[in-house]
Amino acid sequence: MFTPKIPPPDTAPTPGTSLVPPLTGLVHPPACTCHHAPTAPAPVPAAPPARPAVQFTPGSLVVAAAGGTAAVLIIGTVLISMLLATAITAASVAVCAVVLRSLLNNQKGH
């Protein structure tokens, strides 16, 4: 069952031969048959006009600062609540493990 299956000697290729016959006699025509002089390189397009700089007004700065502060507070609250949920879950699993261990140890002593 685990012995390798070797093909019969008449169908196995010899080490010096290839299974794919070589391609001979193929001649590709040139890509372009016209005889013209090379043209000048294409002109480089002009740079687009510069954009105007963004200018903040005092009101927009206050709005941006308030939005950033709100985003930091909301994201911080979510992350802290996830950390707290993980800590509470870990503590409850630890308490359950201690209770189960004490119950199993008490049954061995009786």
59/66 Cα distance (integer angstroms):
11
pLDDT at 31: 72
- Section 15-23 average pLDDT: 69
- Residues 6 or more apart whose CB falls under 8 angstroms from that of 64 comprise 56
Entry pTM: 0.42
One-letter amino acid of 7: P
pLDDT band at 28 (very low <50, low <70, confident <90, very high): low
3-state secondary structure of 72: helix
Q: Is the pLDDT of residue 105 over 80?
A: yes
Phi first, then psi, for residue 7 (nearest 5°) are: -70, 155
Which tens digits make up the pLDDT trace of 50-72?
Answer: 777 778 888 999 999 999 999 99
Over the chain, what is the mean pLDDT? 81
- Section 30-58 average pLDDT: 72
